[in-house]
Amino acid sequence: MDKYYCKSLCFLILMLIVTRMGEAQLMENFYSSSCPNVEAIVRQVVRTKINQTFVTIPATLRLYFHDCFVEGCDASVVIASPNNDAEKDAPDNLSLAGDGFDTVVKAKQAVEAQCPGIVSCADILAIAARDVVFLAGGPAYDVELGRRDGLISQASRVAGNLPEPTFNLIQLNTIFAKNNLSQIDMIALSGAHTLGFSHCNRVANRLYSFSPSNPVDPALDPTYAQQLMQECPQNVDPQIAINMDPVTPQTFDNVYFQNLVGGKGLFTSDQVLFTDPASQPTVMDFAQNSGDFNGAFITAMTKLGRVGVKIGNQGEIRRDCTAFNS
């Protein structure tokens, strides 16, 4: 029994060490001697991009999330394949706006000009995601760095790894838990829907075919439902864009949670955070206390940035973010 217990304990300790290896390699001052100006360089590129188009903000933040949930935070989503079979080509990623990719590519070029071969695309994306939140009025926070870029990017590996707009709370918690993110982390990260837009085809079922007895989802505020129907009439071009937050769509704030309390969550997976008793208290807290939301968001983004981190020969420092080195 003692021998068996020792073996089991040693195995558990080994697994914990392996699991936390990537996390242990990350540190806020990782480039302090090798590329001390990296964050300033990236922020300048991000500012310039935002001045060109606001879409840069939600596009970059969403790109980071989609990257980390598939293969980990390794910039695998940025790879471009001549055969259209890379991660970005998967159906779930086709709606990622080009301005997010462009931000990473331009930031990488600027960093390479001063620090060639030093900073990973994965770290540049992590910095840029933090910067767009701050520049949209959100909290400032330090980013852990030291990721290497991934060596795999396949469209076939995306399905089932990203949350769907129809998910209920259990489904949301399950897919986030796979990435070591708690329910509070999930709710805080959902708050990123305070920025940006989606498309009519993602909400049509809530407006016209929710159920045989209720064509319109009864969880929707009636006035908001009418507004959505005006923006998204039946058979409209599915690529017509609608704001995720109908009140302050260009500001990172806690209004998203206030919208949920008022029945103005765009997706089922948004509104369920308020309608499910298990998550409602957190939504109420975030709706009433922006400081609580900002703190939880920083914690969740830091934990998200540790997902699937590559170190050593698990990855590389790409010269071009859109292509593997070899």
CA 155 to chain centre: 18
Beta pairing partners, 241: 199
305 is in an annotated binding site: no
Other Cβ atoms closer than 10 A to 166: 13
**Per the annotation, does 70 bind a ligand?**
yes
Task: Name every residue whose Cβ is closer than 8 Å to that of residue 107 and which is 6 or more positions away in sequence.
Answer: 41, 42, 45, 46, 124, 127, 128
How many CB atoms sit inside 10 A of residue 98's CB? 10
Q: Is 163 marked as a binding-site residue?
A: yes
Answer yes or no: is 270 a known binding residue: no
On whether 100 is known to bind a ligand per the annotation, the reply is no
> Is residue 199 annotated as involved in ligand binding?
no
Q: Is 39 annotated as a binding residue?
A: no
Q: Which residue has the tokens 């999930």?
A: 186
Question: What string of DSSP letters covers 52-73?
Answer: H-TTHHHHHHHHHHHHHHTTSS
Helix, strand or coil, per DSSP, at residue 84? coil
Please give the Cα distance from 221 to 249 (Å, whole number): 18
CA–CA–CA angle 37, 55, 140 (5° rounding): 45
The residue from 43, 49, 62, 66 that is catalytic is: 66
The yes-or-no answer on residue 66 being catalytic is yes
One-letter amino acid for residue 211 of the chain = S
Contact 86, 155 (CB under 8 A): yes
| Residue 144 labelled as part of a binding site | no
| Three-state DSSP string of 186-248 | HHHHHHHHHCCEEEHHHCHHHHHCCCCCCCCCCCCCHHHHHHHHHHCCCCCCCCCEEECCCCC
Binding site for substrate: residue ranges? 163
Binding site for Ca(2+): residue ranges? 67, 70, 72, 74, 76, 87, 194, 245, 248, 253
Binding site: residue ranges? 67, 70, 72, 74, 76, 87, 163, 193-194, 245, 248, 253
Looking at the annotation, which residues are catalytic?
66
Binding site for heme b: residue ranges? 193
